[in-house]
Amino acid sequence: MGIAEKKIGLAVVTGASSGIGFELAKIAAAKGYDLIIAADEEGIKDAAAVLRRMGANVDALVADLSTLEVVDRLAECIEADGRSVDLLLANAGRGLGKGFLDQEFAEARRVIETNVLGTVYLIHQVGSQMRTRGAGRILITGSIAGFIPGSYQAVYNGTKAFINSFSFALRNELQDTGVTVTCLMPGPTDTRFFERADMLDTDVGQSEKDDPADVAKVGFDAMMDGEGDVVAGWKNKFQAAVANLTPASVLAAQHAKMAAPGTAKS
């Protein structure tokens, strides 16, 4: 990507230190948006440096968006900028592998609070401002995992089922307001997700994955076109379609073969 075009607005991207979120931020910067980015790791500062070299003005916040208080900090950063948010790319998310009863509950709770509570609260704050103004675009990173009962990843898949459903409902509520909502539903993507979720010893953790830059482009383009949802990758489109026709018990058993600890092929 080259130097950014003339500044055309403000984009807020969460989970932007790496992976899909970083690629979304790069696309926004290349298209001329200034950025407010946030993530729960110090790498967000390195991401900001890259984006500034692309010509964007960037405010970066190291923030664990699993709590309302920290989301409020991000909202204060947005307010201090003084401009309306044109694009909200709600991408922050966290995974967790292993059987539910074998997980530390504090970690499972953090997945729920990051993927659901923090995401919904941020969208409520920024989306309310967009609706009042009558303009804005929201991209929410869901997942094809939301269509599948996630044995050995039960909490994560459950949160993505919520996010997918929430995004479809919010889009309907905001029709004719000038605010669009798009749900990006990727499959397994080559990010730090599986490392952070302690799933590197699983079949899905070791399998071939999609390029986060490709996934981000699919999602960003769908958002700008005002589409309601998009599944990235033809294999994932097929899997999502099949999931709608397959009994939940079968899906859960299939997922266990991919996500149970020790299923990685040698």
**Amino acid type, 169:** A
User: Strands (DSSP E) along the chain, which ranges?
Assistant: 9-14, 33-39, 58-62, 87-90, 136-141, 179-185, 229-231
The encoded tokens of residue 136 equal 């804005």
Contacting residues for 163 by C-beta, under 8 A, at least 6 apart: 115, 116, 119, 140, 141, 142, 143, 146, 183
Active site residues: 156, 160
CA dihedral 207, 208, 210, 211 (to 10 degrees): 120
N-to-C CA span, the chain? 37
48: left (phi over 0), alpha (psi -120 to 50) or beta: alpha
DSSP 220: H
The encoded tokens of residue 175 equal 């029709």
Contacting residues for 197 by C-beta, under 8 A, at least 6 apart: 94, 95, 96, 97, 153, 156
Distance from C-alpha of 48 to C-alpha of 108, rounded to nearest angstrom: 29
CB 51 within 8 A of CB 25: yes
